[in-house]
Structures are given as C-alpha cells and as structure tokens.
Amino acid sequence: MSLRRVGGKGDGGVDLQGWWWLPTTLSSSSISQLDDHMYFRRRMRVLAQCKAEKKKISPRYIREMEGVLHRYLSQPNSDDSPQPDGSRGPLDPIVGLFISESPFSKSTLLRVHSSPIPLALLHIPPPLPLALPHIPPPLLNPPNLPDLDLPSSRVSLDDAESDPDTTSSENALGTLIFNAALGSSTGLLQGAVEPRWEHAPFLPLGCAGDRGCGVVDAGWTAGRQTRICL
C-alpha cells in the first residue's frame, strides 16, 4: 500500500491518497506488473482520513467519510489512464481507510460493517512513553554521594507490570478491521486477504522507521504474505 499526504485546504475530506497493490489471485480488470519478481498485481484506489481525537470515534465520522467516497465515485474515470485505442478503462475499485489514534465506539463498528462501501478501520494509539529501567537501591544511592532527589512519579518496568491501570503493550498495537463489503467472501477482496498483527524485533527490510522494535500489519492473500509497515 503506497499512500501520500494530500490533506490541506480544499482536500475534499481526504488526508491520504494512493494505491493498494495486491496479487491477482483476485479477479480484476486493472492489472499491472510490479516488483522484482514480476508478479502480476491489481491496484485499488485508497482514500484515507486521519483523526486524533480524545474520545472514541463516533458514527458521524464514518458518515462523513461515506459522503467523501460517494462524491469520488460520482466522478467516473477520474483516475484511469487512456487505453491504447484512446478510450478510458473502468474505474479502479475504491477502498476507504479511516485511521484513528482513539478506539472506535460500538455504534461506529456497527455502522462500518453495515456500509455498502469497502471500508477499513485502523486504530494506531499514540506511542507509549518509555518506562525507566528499574535501578537497584545500592546503585541508586552509592556511598559518599548525596541522596538523589528523584521524582516520585517515576515508573519502572516492574511498576508497569503490577499496575492494572497502566496501558499494556498489547493494547498499544491497535486494531485493523475490514468491513463485509471489503473483506468478506462476497466483498471486494473476496475473503482472500486476512489482516494480522505482528511484532518483530527488527523492522522488515524496506519498512521505514527507527531501529528497534516495530509493528507491521501482514496481509495474507491466498496463503501468501504481503506486508504493510507501520
């Protein structure tokens, strides 16, 4: 999936726009040769919105996004390239992607699953602050040195494990959901693509990001893995 930022004045409600390339195990009239292995792939137009709200995402945002996608679909052949004979091909399939820092409410999930438009919800929580490592008392106050006035709010790794109110690393992974119009056997992906979360000690080759632990979404298409790096 290759997206670029287009948000700004007059963006029409779209923050990210690009293409999602998938193996042609799924039937499609839009086929292109891609990557070094010369696999044939199909493309889908992706329009994405990004929100950073404090509260859970309500159905109102989904209704707004559906309006954006309906407006896009009302402009046929807006992204098609001319055919060799000068004609225009059919409109590429479109997928709506909603990205949020906060979780989605139950009513929002129901709204998304009942939508006739292919939609994907991606919850990416803000990064958790790094916990300070636990320092044994003998090292904390070595001899011949004055006591260190450390803030009482310091959280160690041990404290984070014992505190039930501390957000766990599992919750920090977020959520990726396809609605029926996108991921079901009768949807756009025909049930052949499955999202899975993976936590790797190192980022896969080709993924952007700093060195260290990384989270990737691995889409599985007919038993073959295709990665989306986060």
Report yes or no on 204 lying in a domain.
Answer: no
Please tell me the distance from the alpha carbon of residue 207 to that of residue 228, in angstroms, as a whole number: 8
Report yes or no on 115 lying in a domain.
Answer: yes
Residue in 180, 208, 211, 150 with CA at minimum distance from that of residue 1:
208
Report yes or no on 120 lying in a domain.
Answer: yes
Domain count, the chain: 1
Q: What is the pLDDT along the chain (230 residues), one digit of tens a residue?
A: 889 998 777 677 899 999 998 877 554 444 444 444 545 778 899 999 999 998 999 999 999 999 999 998 887 655 544 444 444 455 789 999 999 999 999 999 999 999 999 999 999 888 776 666 665 555 555 555 555 454 443 433 344 344 443 334 344 567 889 999 999 999 998 888 877 776 655 544 444 444 333 444 445 554 555 555 44
pLDDT in tens, 100-158: 999 999 999 999 999 999 999 999 888 776 666 665 555 555 555 555 454 443 433 34
3-state SS track over 6-33: CCCCCCCCCCEEEEEEEECCCCCCCEEE
Sign of CA dihedral 197, 200, 205, 209: positive
Q: What are phi and psi of 51, to 5 degrees?
A: -130, 140
- Specify the DSSP class assigned to residue 92: P
Report yes or no on 73 lying in a domain.
Answer: yes
By residue range, what is the domain housing residue 125?
A: 2-129+170-191
Q: Specify the pTM.
A: 0.64
Q: Which helix (H) or strand (E) holds 49?
A: strand 39-51
- Specify the DSSP class assigned to residue 187: S
Report yes or no on 225 lying in a domain.
Answer: no
Report yes or no on 150 lying in a domain.
Answer: no
Report yes or no on 40 lying in a domain.
Answer: yes
Report yes or no on 72 lying in a domain.
Answer: yes
